[in-house]
Structure 1
Amino acid sequence: MEAAVEITTEVKNVPALRFPEFNGEWKEVRLEDICDTFKSGESITSKDIADSGEYPVYGGNGLRGYTTKYTHDGFYTLIGRQGALCGNINRVYGKSYISEHAIAVSTNNSSDTEWLAQKLDYMNLNRLSESSAQPGLAVNKLLRLKLKVPVLHEQQKIASFLSAVDEKIKQLSKKKELLKKYKKGVMQQLFSQQIRFKDDRGNAFPEWEEKKLVEVLSEHKGRNTDLAIEEVFSVAKEKGVVNQIEHLGRSYASNDISNYKVVYPDDVIYTKSPTSDFPYGIIKQNKLDRIGVVSVLYAVFKPVNRNIGLLLDYYFSSWVNTYNYLNPLVQKGAKNTMNINNSDFLNGRRISLPSSLEEQEKIANFLTSIDSKINHTSKQLEQAQQFKKGLLQQLFV
């Protein structure tokens, strides 16, 4: 990956960051001036799209499936043109069927298709969608768009550089997904006892025991009456217990949080509010090393030990396990409120848990180590994405 160097100039229409062999202003053109192809794809019905086949079918959000014929052959940038996918940028290579939900774009000899894909993505075309019940992008309107363009060789250098960054982001995304898939598979085998740890002497641990939550959790009823605790927590499906402002961007807490429930490190929280994939709420352990408070709508419990709380967090990270446990207990009220008292929550069906403290710790440490790898990869991915965002701001005019 070649480095771009920053230059100081007062000349108009040049980027803040540039490869050293280039100089001079970028010229302003209309999008139609640099495109060889700029046209919506062709209609195709769902019955003509299969899970496998000879040619891939692409729409506004990427791959839709496969079919027996193709409409395009080569490298094209795709622009999503309808609904929530307006302005979404994808790429296709080789023979493919491009549907009417996407605009197929290729450049003429004066420009580079990959450079244009990066530029259009940076321009956030969604902002140009027509205001209506079904937002859309008009081809003729897009063709009249003005943009600043460097010479072809500079376009190619920029495209190659950004493609290398994209490849790094792609690799980190794939690594993260593989780790998450591995963790999910391992958890299924651990909780079904297909995989068992042995003690440090190589002996088998005792059999697991069927437990009700009331046997391993006790309800916390402490309130923030003296307002000694200022930090308000939220509970998120992926991140678990987090600072509310960091998670949501601002505070949604009441002006008076004296009645909020106190949450200590290792406590288990049940949200009692629906979220995607979890229609009866989510159950998470506070893995933060600090005390906070949560809304009175949440239920807070102290586990018999940290590792049991952690194992419950992992067990209920599965939407299937959470659904099967809560479905017999919850009655949905108006506005999707969860009608379930804390006693019923604690006295649901029995869950199989390791009886040995040593085995509990081994499982918890093993799964925590996988989480550490996922979190490390997530941070690397976020840094790479922020790096690219900064590059785009400086490499384009």
Structure 2
Amino acid sequence: MSEKDDIAILPRYRFPEFSESWKTIKLIDIADYRRGSFPQPYGLPKWYDELNGMPFIQVFDVDDNMCLKASTKNKISKLASKQSVFIEKGTLIVTLQGSIGRVAITQYDAYIDRTLLLFEKFYRDIDKVFLAHSIQQLFEIKKQSAPGGIIKTITKQVLSEFTVQLPEKLEQQKIADCLSSIAELISAEEKKLLLLNNYKKGWIQKLFPAEGKNVPEWRFPEFKDSEGWETIKLRELADYRRGSFPQPYGLSKWYDELNGMPFIQVFDVDENMCLKATTKNKISELASQQSVFIEKGTLIVTLQGSIGRVAITQYDAYIDRTLLLFEKFYRDVDKVFLVHTIQQLFEIKKQSAPGGIIKTITKQVLSEFTVQLPEKPEQQKIANFLSGIDDLISKQTSKIESLKCHKKALMQGLFPTVGEAWK
């Protein structure tokens, strides 16, 4: 027996009742799988039936908690279902495009798109939840070696050559039960976060005037007799411009991860009206000469990708051309209030956009947007009230992130790491 054959495949952490080595096996030898399907081209009304149609699973509908979202974004018509693939509740699926490598065990019957893979038959007696975690962990490892931590594409053929490690069935079940308990806890905390976000959304709808009105549905008592809010174009309220970055992107001389300054791109703007704790990239001194520096406390808006995300920066940084920065205000306005106002404005614009997505926005178009302003004291009162809810949301988000980190660390211990073996 060679030295390689003599090495046992074992995880770092193990339940005491198990001692056998894990087996390495190709995914193609574990199960039979195929892509879903959907008639082309996408978008034709005859393929959809929101009233009487069946759920239709696309990449968007696969959550990051190994489940589907509560309901799919689209429902498939009877006509389109004849050219799609039906899957029963409890089917293991994997996303192959977009957010590649998301895994789920479906919790309802549905039809499935061609951008996902579905497992149809298993050649081994395997715990499905364990396999879902194994595949998810496998994609996490693959992402670490991918440029920028992103897997840009994956095919069924490439996936077939992936190898996974399998213990005996009882150990699979034990690991699956352990991870499922943490997943359930995370899910419960995410539901609390959703309630907080909906609570905030409800208050924003009450605290800001509805379209076509100049007073909100609800006002703080001290402002009940105040005048209606003033309507003003954004360009009359402030001076703003795009950021900048030398072209082309990607040249190593533009970046300095060791000594560089934070460089804000769309990716770095979080959903909570703040930047992420650190930017994905740091800009070099050479590139900074062709970029735009902004101080902590600057109001910014994303113009590409996730359009309409707004933030007040919490650290000094340089900023990319895909974002707008507010440089000077012509009115005495509460910055936090204005952030909420702009965010609410984009939410309204999304409601009238095809598919609820704003595909593009320019500085010129943004300049014609109108906002409504009360007097400064009322702005501050609204800003303080909403900031209080934001603090609760931030704490709940941190709690969820801590649980996810705990689960990730546990998975790294419960599954053998690629390249690691234990005698």
- TM-score normalised according to structure 2 size: 0.64
CA separation of 1:388 and 1:264: change in aligned 2, threshold 3 A:
closer
Amino acid at match of 2:199: Y
Q: Which of 15, 18, 31 does residue 19 from structure 1 map onto?
A: 15
Distance 1:180 1:86 in 2: 27
- Does 2:283 correspond to 1:251? yes
Q: Percent identity?
A: 22
Deviation at 1:275, TM superposition (A): 2.0
Aligned ranges 1:108-123 → 2 under 5 Å: 110-123=125-138
Deviation string, structure 1 residues 86-145 (Cα, Å, up to 9, x no partner): 54322124644445542224545621111111111111199699xxx985212xx64564
Whole-angstrom CA distance in 2 between matches of 1:151 and 1:194 = 61
1:88 maps to: 102
**Inter-partner Cα distance in structure 1 for 2:240 and 2:38:** 56
Judged with a 3 Å threshold, the aligned counterparts in structure 2 of structure 1 residues 29 and 72 are, in CA distance, closer, same or farther, namely: same
Distance 1:366 1:29 in 2: 56
Match of 2:404 in 1: 385
Residue 23 of structure 1: SS of its match in structure 2? coil
C-alpha distance after superposition, 1:27-79 (max 9, x if no partner): 233435544xx232564436455335475343555445356688444522112
Matches within 5 A, 1:1-397: 12-35=8-31, 38-40=32-34, 43-45=37-39, 47=46, 49-53=48-52, 55-59=54-58, 62=62, 63=72, 65-66=75-76, 71-73=86-88, 75-81=90-96, 83-84=97-98, 86-93=100-107, 95-100=109-114, 101-105=116-120, 107=122, 110-124=125-139, 135-138=154-157, 142-143=159-160, 145-192=162-209, 193-199=216-222, 204-210=224-230, 212=232, 234=264, 236=269, 238=271, 240=273, 242=275, 246-251=278-283, 255=287, 263=295, 265=297, 268-269=299-300, 274-276=303-305, 278=307, 284-286=311-313, 288=314, 298-301=325-328, 308-320=334-346, 351-355=371-375, 357=377, 359-397=378-416
Measured after TM superposition, the shift of residue 258 of structure 1 is 11
Task: Work out the CA distance in 2 between the residues paired with 1:84 and 1:394.
Answer: 28
> Given the superposition, is the C-alpha separation of residues 153 and 49 from structure 1 closer, same or farther in structure 2, using an over 3 Å criterion?
farther
- Structure 2 CA distance, aligned partners of 1:361 and 1:392? 46
Question: Aligned pair in 2 of structure 1 residues 55, 160: CA closer, same or farther (>3 Å)?
Answer: farther
User: 1:5: which partner in 2?
Assistant: none
Question: Partner of 2:278: helix, strand, or coil?
Answer: helix
Query: Following TM superposition, by how much is the alpha carbon of 1:155 offset from its aligned partner in structure 2, in angstroms?
Result: 0.5
Cα distance in structure 1, aligned partners of 2:132 and 2:374: 53
- What whole-Å deviation, never above 9, does each CA across 1:272-313 have from its counterpart, x for those lacking one? x722364xx766444x3x6667689844125866x7221111
Which runs of 5 or more structure 2 residues have no equivalent in the other structure? 1-5, 63-71, 147-151, 210-215, 242-259, 351-359, 417-423
**Displacement of 1:392 after TM fit?**
1.7
Larger deviation, residues 18-27 vs 231-240: 231-240
Contact kept, 8 Å, 1:76 with 1:106, in 2: the verdict is no
Q: Relative to 1, partners in 2 of residues 1:241 and 1:302: Cα closer, same or farther, differing over 3 Å?
A: farther
Per-residue deviation, 1:360? 2.9
* Distance of aligned partners of 1:92 and 1:384 in 2 relative to their CA distance in 1, 3 Å threshold: same
Letter in 2 for 1:387: H
Q: Any conservation in 2 of the 1:263–1:292 contact (CA below 8 Å)?
A: yes
Cα distance change, pair 303–181 in 1 and its aligned pair in 2 (3 A): farther
State the shift of 1:233 in Å.
Answer: 6.7
> 1:223-265: per-residue Cα shift (whole Å, max 9, x none)?
xxxxxxx96573736354648x912332267555699556364
2:251 matched to which residue of 1? none
Deviations 1:370-395 (A, max 9, x none): 11112112212222222222122111
Distance 1:302 1:262, change over 3 A: farther
Residues 261 and 294, structure 1, Cα contact 8 Å, conserved in 2 = yes
| Residue equivalent to 2:212 | none
Q: Which amino acid aligns with 2:34?
A: S
SS in 1 for 2:226: coil
After TM superposition, give the deviation of residue 191 of structure 1 in Å: 1.4
Distance 1:234 1:208, change over 3 A: farther
SS of residue in 2 equivalent to 1:90:
strand
Q: Distance in 2 between matches of 1:260 and 1:97?
A: 48
Question: In structure 2, do the counterparts of structure 1 residues 351 and 119 end up closer, same or farther at CA, with 3 Å as the change threshold?
Answer: closer
C-alpha change, 1:86 and 1:323, in structure 2 (3 Å) is closer
Tell me how many residue pairs correspond in the alignment: 343
Query: Cα deviation per residue 1:299-332 (whole Å; 9 max; x = unaligned)?
Result: 4125866x722111110013537969xxxxxxxx
Within 2, Cα distance between the matches of 1:73 and 1:353? 52
Distance 1:165 1:50, change over 3 A: farther
Report the AA paired with residue 33 of structure 2.
K
- Rounded to whole Å, the distance in 2 between the matches of 1:361 and 1:299 is 19
SS of residue paired to 1:156: helix
